[in-house]
Amino acid sequence: AQSVTQLGSHVSVSEGALVLLRCNYSSSVPPYLFWYVQYPNQGLQLLLKYTSAATLVKGINGFEAEFKKSETSFHLTKPSAHMSDAAEYFCAVSDSNDYKLSFGAGTTVTVRA
Amino acid sequence: DAGVIQSPRHEVTEMGQEVTLRCKPISGHNSLFWYRQTMMRGLELLIYFNNNVPIDDSGMPEDRFSAKMPNASFSTLKIQPSEPRDSAVYFCASSLGGSGRARYFGAGTRLSVL
């Protein structure tokens, strides 16, 4: 069974600074990996997904994530934070044989002016 | 596309009342999921439909919860009778296929049971 661990439940960054959200996964088969963002009082919005085509995945709103098999990681980054990036971010994993999507506990990002 | 549409967005009810949550998936998607989100337990999968057939309802908390998908464009999640501990945000999501596919979420229904 697959699982996800998000390191850090809260991250605070200054506007214009690098955003780095950490995600480690465990999966017995090659995984599919996703990052979702949830703004207050809204549903989860897909930021990006890894499906084995390329290890560096670019998503919406300037975010990208790198799949590192040796480290079982899929960290999310954005070079320059914007106030509108304040939200909760979820890493999720599934495999090709299972419809279940396992979510991490989420990381709340606060952006300081 | 309009995305996944859920109604109502907010529901306040009293303990013991029946609650029905509604979902319209993205047209063409053949997989539908109901999730519940709480501070304590995070996102929990309640039930999964594929081609309108319930495949896995092991996440449904108890017999008070039931879900139906009478056709490809509509699903309901019913709680009868409702209890205060059912208070949560309920999300519907759809995808094209179940395994390894991106899931698209509705805006959710915030349920408060008094």
Mean pLDDT of chain B: 94
Q: How far is B114 from chain A (nearest CA, A)?
A: 20
* Separation between Cα atoms, residue B108 and residue B89, nearest integer Å: 6
Query: Which chain B residue is nearest to residue A51, measuring alpha carbons?
Result: B100
Question: Between chains, do B100 and A34 touch, taking CB under 8 Å as contact?
Answer: no
Question: Between chains, do A43 and B106 touch, taking CB under 8 Å as contact?
Answer: yes
- As a residue count, chain B comes to 114
**pLDDT above 70: residue B1:** no
Series of mean pLDDT values for 10-residue runs along chain A (113 residues): 89 97 87 93 92 87 94 96 97 81 93 95
**What would the pLDDT profile of B32-89 be if each residue is shown by its tens digit?**
999 999 999 999 999 999 999 999 999 998 899 999 999 999 999 999 999 999 999 9
Average pLDDT, integer, range B7-25: 97
**Which residues have C-beta within 8 Å of that of residue B25, sequence separation ≥ 6?**
B4, B32, B72, B73, B75, B92, B94
B90 to chain A, any CB pair closer than 8 A? The answer is no
